[in-house]
Amino acid sequence: MRAAIALLVLPLLAAPAPVYAEDARFMLCEALPHLTCVWSGDSFYLRGKVVRLADAVSPERYTGECPQASQLSWRSALRLRDLLNAGTFEIAASEGAELAAVTRNGQSLGEQMIAEGLAQERTPEAPNWCG
């Protein structure tokens, strides 16, 4: 019986990672390992590698200092998921190994998140999400 179950599950474990970003379908990160999912409104995993938006920052999920930050963290993560799933996008490395400019048709997804009030411009100082 165990062998039969293993034979059914094995193909699922061996499923290949998407070859192109536009083939990826994002969901919110939950169980490990994080392969292709959105962690927060400013970071996501693509084929197991973390990408952080170079131009925007949002509150981290699960670490909300206040109710406003907690609500914003979930809304921004859901919106970034929807933006990434809306079509092809480009990733250009920026300063630092993990920071990148993520754009679609020349428009920054980070700037769009800021314009929608779901993120703030990335600066050296951490934003006060509760103020």
Return the bridge partners of 37, or none.
27, 45
Portion of the chain with pLDDT greater than 70, in percent:
77
Do residues 98 and 51 lie in contact, with contact meaning Cβ atoms separated by under 8 Å? yes
Q: Point out the residues of the chain with pLDDT beneath 50.
A: 1-20
- For residue 53, report the phi and psi dihedrals to the nearest 5 degrees: -60, 130
Give the pLDDT of residue 97. 60
Give the pLDDT of residue 34. 87
Q: Which pair of tokens denotes residue 115?
A: 């314009």
Give the pLDDT of residue 18. 32
Give tens-digit pLDDT for 54-71. 999 999 887 767 889 999
Give the pLDDT of residue 4. 43
Whole-Å CA distances, 33 to 45, 58, 60, 105: 10, 22, 18, 31
- CATH second-level architecture of 25-121? Beta Barrel (2.40)
Whole-Å CA distances, 100 to 42, 52, 89, 97: 10, 6, 12, 8
- For residue 40, report the phi and psi dihedrals to the nearest 5 degrees: -150, -175
